[in-house]
Amino acid sequence: MNIDVLEKALKMLEKHPLCDHCLGRQFALLGYGIENDERGRAIKSVLALEAHALVFSKNEEGIRILKILATNGFFKTAKEILQKMKRRITERNLPKTCFLCENKFEIAEDLSKQALEQLNDYEYNNFLVGMELPLETEEREDEFRAEFEAGYAESMRNEFGRVLGKKLAALNEKAVEHKKPEVVVLVNPFTSKVRLQVNPLFISGRYKKLVRGIPQSKWFCSNCRGKGCEKCNWTGKMYVESVEEIIGKLFLEATEGLKTSFHASGREDIDARMLGKGRPFVIEISKPRKRFLNLQKLEKDVNVYAKGKVEISNLKFSNKDAI
């Protein structure tokens, strides 16, 4: 191992208590296929070997390094070497937590299980873990990296996200998706809080309006703006129903979503029909609990429910780009 790495790691440990993750993360760009905690343990192991060799050479510097590793490095091997040499470390002087992460990597497994418990209420194909870290924690890490010129470092945010993502993927057997995840698991390890950001489901198709007198979208009463009044017979709407409402109702029920948004390619007048091939539309369902839909069945159900007023066809799963 490059002696510059060892010297820099020792300087870090001389000043601050660091767990395996946080020490290894400062050299994350060195080597491939190694997790940061493994990298941190490897650095501490080599430092311990070098220090033990110095002790055999009657060099007291070895004892000093072993004490640093046993205390600020939380390194059991160094502590055992000192014990065999009858060198004591006062327990009350031992640091309790890592300077950077405050030992929060230790609860990664629990956070993953907490996330899985929430995810079990939803259908999804893929996910992404996002981190919510305290500002002071990230500022402390930035100052640390600047102080020690840690040019090979990875951020705590990145490592937490990767570690939790791997643990969660092993539990739910779902793929991690960075570009367009269906669900984002937002984790704050410093408060042990987990929450979900469930992204919308998009389904495209075509609709025909077979009768006149129905607006394309829900038309709120101009007098009460949807609150309900005498003018609108307390419905809050100028028209009893719309293409959007007729189509959206069963989509919302099938997905157990929060609400729907209707996006159509153009619009027709209220007193006009829409025939031919039909008008393209995309329906957006917010926070859907169900995504694994039988679109053929849903299409038939909507057409039966519409009672000859509206007819939909060519349903397929889509995305935001289609809007």
For residue 1, the model assigns a pLDDT of 46
For residue 275, the model assigns a pLDDT of 92
For residue 3, the model assigns a pLDDT of 54
Task: Measure the N-to-C terminal CA separation of the chain; round to a whole number of Å.
Answer: 54
Tell me which CATH code domain 104-198 carries: 3.30.2130.30
Give the pTM: 0.85
Residues with Cβ within 8 Å of 322's Cβ and at least 6 positions away in sequence, in order, are: 202, 204, 282
Q: Pick the closest to residue 116 from 64, 176, 194 (CA basis).
A: 194
Q: Pick the closest to residue 79 from 99, 63, 93, 102 (CA basis).
A: 63
Other beta carbons less than 10 A from residue 300's beta carbon: 12
| CB distance 261 to 282 below 8 Å | no
Can you tell me whether residue 104 is helix, strand or coil? helix
Residue 20 is a catalytic residue: no
The single-letter code of the amino acid at 209 is K
For residue 30, the model assigns a pLDDT of 93
**For the chain, where do the domains classified as CATH 3.30.70.2510 start and end?**
201-322
Annotated catalytic residue within 20, 121, 269, 301: 269
For residue 283, the model assigns a pLDDT of 97
Q: Pick the closest to residue 182 from 174, 172, 190 (CA basis).
A: 174
Q: Which residues of the chain have pLDDT under 50?
A: 1
Output helix, strand, coil percentages for the chain, rounded to the nearest 5: 40, 20, 40
> Distance between CA atoms of 9 and 144, rounded to whole angstroms?
12
**For the chain, where do the domains classified as CATH 3.30.2130.30 start and end?**
104-198
Q: What digits encode the pLDDT tens for the residues 239-263? A: 778 999 999 999 999 999 999 999 9
| CB distance 72 to 94 below 8 Å | no
Pick the CATH number of 201-322 from 3.90.950.20, 3.30.70.2510, 3.40.190.10, 3.20.20.20: 3.30.70.2510
